[in-house]
Chains A and B, each alone.
Chain A
Amino acid sequence: MNELYAICKRNVWPVFRDMPILPLLIVSFIVAIVYVPLFFTLDNLRNYLLQSSDLLIISCGLTFVVLNGGIDFSVTSILTLGSVVGAYIMALSPLAPVPAYSIPVAIVVMMGIGLLVGVVNGLSVTKLKMPSFVATLATQLIILGLAVQFTSMVSDTSSIAGLPEAFFVLGGEGRFFFVPILIAFSVWLVSYWLLGRTIFGKRVYAIGVNPRVSFISGLPVKRTIVLLMVISGLFAGVASIIATARNQVGMSSLGDKMFLTTIASVIVGGTSTSGGLGGVHKTLLGVLFITLLNNAMNLLGVGWYTMMIVLGVLIILSAVSSYLLNSRAGWTWKRKVADV
């Protein structure tokens, strides 16, 4: 018994300590299997993973920025602008009759929009010395305005329908359900590799803890921040492709209500909003947990307002947990510096 306790203390407890959301996710999953009717079915598990896919991509991008102690409000409006511009190219532009051309062009443009906004955000923060929340709030408003204006110029309604069937494969249509899941997992793997296995990743953590010390130490702080913003924007562009394909229309309201869920996934996962602590491994758990809550509550017919209350309570508890973790940040930081 003592031996088992020692093994748990040595192997399991450090994992739970690093990712407090993990035991919560496991318990919730078991409770859902036991109590939620038809939760543990192939159909629903497929839905569960599909519904996690675009959220995971956009949350991975946001994690880079949050790790740096910043925030990117523009991600959900990138989702919206990408959606309507991409849908326009595929449904209404001169390229529309030839899906073999219109789909790749739309995909490139949707990702390009994210990339461009990321560059603008990055330069606003580094060159204009704007706090990230101000810079990205401004771009969020501009992009959202552009998206609504653009939609009203090309369509009588606030959505653009008539997208080519082949594009829906990217949203997991029919037997291609694994496509968005694979894309999301690939994005997560790349993010994990970038943060955990590259010098760039170590710089992100270092700058997140103390940008001034990092600068004095000779780290390319500005370049790293621009890159973070570009990654965040680019991933939002990729999420835009998946979300548009899943809904089969371009919508000027696509990202309207998504920011809360996205930031909740990052924070509930365990990435600290003060920067330097966390990672996409935690964000993955946060995304799986939030999607699990949504999914299970839908199956139970629990109201959206209840879901909002639960989400709010979880964010507060996560923040408390993060504070308690930060009280031992000296230990954690020593470990991270040793890794660098």
Chain B
Amino acid sequence: MKKRLIVNALLMLLAAVFLSACGRQKDTKGEKTITLGLSYDSLESAWLVMNHSAVIKEGKKRGAEVISVMAEGDAAKQNVQIENLLARRVDAILCFPKDSSAIVKSIKNCRAAGVPIVMINRSVSGSVLPDAQVIANNKAMGQKVLQTFADRARLEGKTYNVVLLIGNLSDENAALRKAGHRKAIADNPDVLKLMAEVPTEWNLDTALKGLQNALQANPDANLIVTPSDYLWPPIRSVLEQRGRWAKIGAANHFPVVSFDGDEVGMQYLKDGYNWGDAAQDAVEEAQLAVEWALKLIEGKTPPQNTIYDDGQIVTIDNFKEVAPKVWSYSLLK
């Protein structure tokens, strides 16, 4: 009996202490502070971590309170969390959506509540759009980085057989990057030939196995195009297994073209493993999103629904000039 009493008391104490401790974090100033709700898919990659912290930093810098919730890759949970943020009566919502279709439900809820919602980095298409979307120009950047590689290949008189990694098709970014990469391949048939497409679902293990199988089935493949620097670990692992993880210039080097511009991809670019990276700006996108959320609260609207981050195309040829403009440059060793 005593043991059970102790357990019950412990359980109650845990809940009371936890919730009250969290509750005390909130200040009770009389003045009206703008509250921004930040709903984020997950923090799986370095780019996402930087973008997430930049939103919070920018919000605080502009005098707003930022309440951040994490959906952990669950689109249904993200909708629930946004419902809770609306109940918390936030003034605007910043959202990095998990699923470009499922988030429509939350956009409708925000409209009904009269709360502006701004998408960060992952866009929504269709008839129900958020108030603003700050995204990288995925298709153009994907096309441009591969076009740059194709131009160089043409000059060197080389041809490449491409293995194209694909993100998750419920992710608009992945679909647009794929479209950009495919356009560059289609525009340069003399130097680029698509050998295989490998769906990764943004899962490192799926990417690893898929890439292993694709290179096994296509021994002539000699270029990997990835839609994110997040996928570097499986790429490196597969190339190491095949004895092809070597710097540019080595006989066994296997070229890779990437996307994101996070510190992993940029480090490999600096070290000579990566040929080119389409770098989207984690900090600028965060700043633009917060700026537009605050403007929307004031009743201003953006001239266009989509605000593009045109990013930087960093290659081994322009690294010294362009890399310092990329947010992750200061993190390189």
Contact = CB atoms under 8 A, between A and B. Distances in A.
B87 A28 contact: no
B1 to A, nearest CB: 8
A20 B8 contact: yes
A105 interface: no
Contacts of A50: 83
The B contact surface, by secondary structure, is helix
A44 B87 contact: yes
B10 interface: yes
A303 B81 CA distance: 11
B53 to A, nearest CB: 13
Contacts of A313: 14
B202 to A, nearest CB: 11
B72 interface: yes
Given A17-B4, A38-B87, A251 B99 contact: yes
Interface string A8-41: 0000000011001101100110011011111001
Interface in A196-238: none
Given A27-B16, A36-B19, A303-B68, A254 B101 contact: no
A59 interface: no
A248 B102 CA distance: 7
A306 to B, nearest CB: 9
Q: How large is the interface on B (under 10, 10 to 19, 20 to 34, 35 or more residues)?
A: 35 or more
Q: Which of A44, A159, A303 has the most CB of B within 10 A?
A: A159
Interface stretch (B22-30, B261-269, B288-296, B312-320): B22-30
B84 A31 contact: no
B126 A299 contact: no
A295 B99 CA distance: 21
A251 B7 contact: no
A320 interface: yes
Interface string A291-331: 00011111111111100001001100100110011000000
B84 A295 contact: yes
A112 to B, nearest CB: 22
Interface in B98-135: 99-102, 104-105, 108, 112, 126
A35 B15 CA distance: 12
A20 B7 contact: yes
Nearest to A321: B7
Interface of B: 3-4, 7-8, 10-12, 14-16, 18-20, 22-26, 66-77, 79-81, 83-89, 99-102, 104-105, 108, 112, 126, 168-170, 175
Given A157-B101, A157-B169, A246-B79, 12 more contacts: A27-B15, A28-B19, A35-B23, A36-B19, A43-B87, A44-B87, A47-B84, A47-B87, A246-B76, A249-B102, A299-B87, A304-B72
24 contacts: A16-B8, A20-B4, A20-B11, A23-B8, A27-B16, A34-B20, A36-B22, A38-B89, A51-B80, A160-B101, A161-B101, A246-B79, A246-B105, A248-B105, A251-B99, A254-B75, A257-B74, A299-B87, A299-B88, A303-B68, A303-B69, A303-B70, A310-B14, A321-B7
